[in-house]
Chains A and B, each alone.
Chain A
Amino acid sequence: EAGVVQSPRYKIIEKKQPVAFWCNPISGHNTLYWYLQNLGQGPELLIRYENEEAVDDSQLPKDRFSAERLKGVDSTLKIQPAELGDSAVYLCASSLRGSSGNTIYFGEGSWLTVV
């Protein structure tokens, strides 16, 4: 069974440019997460989807970040415009449902460098 797939793995952009990350969760997983991980830190939740509904986006900086999960499967995370401080790893994860006891499965991450 394929795991969580993310692309691109690596991206270098100039500040003020837009960037988009794509995620394909594990088949059948209703819940999808985007996490931000800064160097030397643990992941921090940006947004959580239950099917196509964003049920927790309280930590998503909505002035420059946006996300969508059309049809409740794949998801994209966009940053526009990117700032130097956005350099980090963007991790996508999925689980069966957002309920207690379900394991979260992570993708390999999209490594963003803003120069």
Chain B
Amino acid sequence: SQQGEEDPQALSIQEGENATMNCSYKTSINNLQWYRQNSGRGLVHLILIRSNEREKHSGRLRVTLDTSKKSSSLLITASRAADTASYFCATHSGTYKYIFGTGTRLKVLA
């Protein structure tokens, strides 16, 4: 079973534009992480946000967390063709289990 649902399922933008993807989840969490997966590769960790945090930045990435709405968003600014990948959120609860969402497939057109 999957905890999170990413939205949109697919996103296509032009290079230089910003990309925003959202993650909604069902139960209380300790933290939420975002991962990137290039085609045919494993998942790469991008950023972790704890339940008591509302926003975090890492380079061109900005993550927000709204625990009252059980949702998070990932913003990639000034996107590049190399950002083309699938992006997954993963929630961590008291059971020490990371549960992944269904992913957003981002395509950045050069």
Contacts and interface: CB of A to CB of B under 8 A. Distances in A.
Given A101-B50, A109-B42, A44 B100 contact: yes
Contact of B2 (A33, A42, A105, A106): A42
Given A42-B2, A98-B96, A100-B30, A106 B43 contact: yes
B101 A42 contact: yes
Given A98-B96, A101-B48, A103-B33, A41 B41 contact: no
Given A100-B30, A100-B92, A103-B48, A41 B103 contact: yes
Given A98-B96, A100-B92, A103-B48, A108 B101 contact: no
A43 B43 contact: yes
Interface residues of A, number: 25
Interface in B5-45: 30-31, 33, 35, 40-45
Tell me whether chain A's interface is mostly helix, strand or loop, or mixed.
Answer: loop
A103 to B, nearest CB: 5
A91 interface: yes
A48 B100 contact: no
Interface of A: 4, 33, 35, 40-45, 48, 56, 91, 93, 98-101, 103-109, 111
